[in-house]
Amino acid sequence: MRKLFPESVPLSSPRWWVVAALLAFFALVPVYAAWFDEGFYLTLFSRVMVMAIAAISLNLLIGYTGLVSFGHALYLMVGAYAAGIASFHGITNGWLQLAIAIGAGLVISFVTGLIVLRTSGMAFIMITLAFAQMFFYLGISLKQYGGDDGLRMDARSALAPFDMSSNMTLYYVVFVILLAALYLSWRLVHSRFGYVLRGIRGNERRMKAIGFSTTRYKLAIYMIAATITSVAGFLLANLTSYVSPSYGAWTASGDLIVMVVLGGMGTVMGPLVGALSLLLVEEWLASLTQHWMAPLGLAIVLIVLTARRGIYGSFHAWTRRREQASTTEAGQ
């Protein structure tokens, strides 16, 4: 737990307790589901964690590097199709499917990254969207793999020694990967590499002037984020036993951006809080009315207006102010 925050954060900080409570909640969901025979919650919170993994990777771009990608769901689609197409051709080994997903994500992000990172601002947003739409329509054109109807997987990946056919096993596999994504995110943003990324976000011209090859750093984090999202896509395909071009649609990328902003950009736990909040509110509103999108949009607007840094981001800023004030008082 201590590795989720910088070493300077005191153990008495409320942030420790919020992180501990949140992760304990996810760890105990299967216990509740088994006790009350509510298998639906395993599926719901597995989906929350999968989308949180993708949002964590997008936060590395938006929150720490200042790269607003509106086509990040492309790699969710890449990871899902890597599993689905491999399964279609009789490759059921989950580790091989995962390797294909990671490899495909790395190659595509490297090639597209060399192009999109030549731009910035609105041009970067539009080119990432354009690439995502290209792959979206490519998925629709693959009639052998279902086209726009998608492709159903006959069975989940054989990820030995884990029995992925069990919803509970799949849940804990996703949970462990979520923890790994959070830890990797923390390690990256609190390393020298991460501080260079923050410098690029603040003033890229100055970073170039002092000798940093900013394009290499941006390409590296772009590929890392794409790889993490490809893994999330692999998990999503196994969760739903289905792959579809809609995984890479611009609306899916928009959802990921909302999760990052809603939870708190530039914080390690923000994307997880954002994914949890968005998907739970969406599920609750959908159970009340078929016109749930309108109240959901209103709820998001109200949250953003009242908590400009996002839900967890505002809490994070408040606790830091308290800690700084206490340190100042202690030194007087």
Q: What is the SS3 assignment for 217-273?
A: HHHHHHHHHHHHHHHHHHHHHHHHCEECHHHHCHHHHHHHHHHHHHHCCCCCCHHHH
CATH fold group of domain 8-331: ABC transporter involved in vitamin B12 uptake, BtuC (1.10.3470)
CA distances, 311 to each of 104, 180, 235, 319 (Å): 34, 22, 26, 13
| Amino acid, single-letter form, for residue 301 | V
Between 87-91, 197-201, 306-310, the lowest mean confidence (pLDDT) is in 306-310
User: Please, what is the average pLDDT of the chain?
Assistant: 89
pLDDT bucket at 6, cuts 50 / 70 / 90: very low
| Of 264, 294, 259, 266, residue with least CA distance to 280 | 259
User: Helices (DSSP H) in the chain: which residue ranges?
Assistant: 14-35, 39-65, 74-88, 94-116, 121-141, 167-189, 192-209, 214-240, 250-263, 270-288, 293-306, 311-331
3-state secondary structure of 187: helix
- Domain spans of the chain, in order of start: 8-331
Q: Which helix (H) or strand (E) holds 67?
A: none
Whole-prediction pTM? 0.92
Tell me: the pLDDT tens digits for 221-273?
Answer: 999 999 999 999 999 999 999 999 999 999 999 999 999 999 989 899 999 99
Separation CA 85–CA 229 (nearest Å): 18
3-state secondary structure of 107: helix
Tell me: the pLDDT tens digits for 183-215?
Answer: 999 999 999 999 999 999 999 999 999 989 999
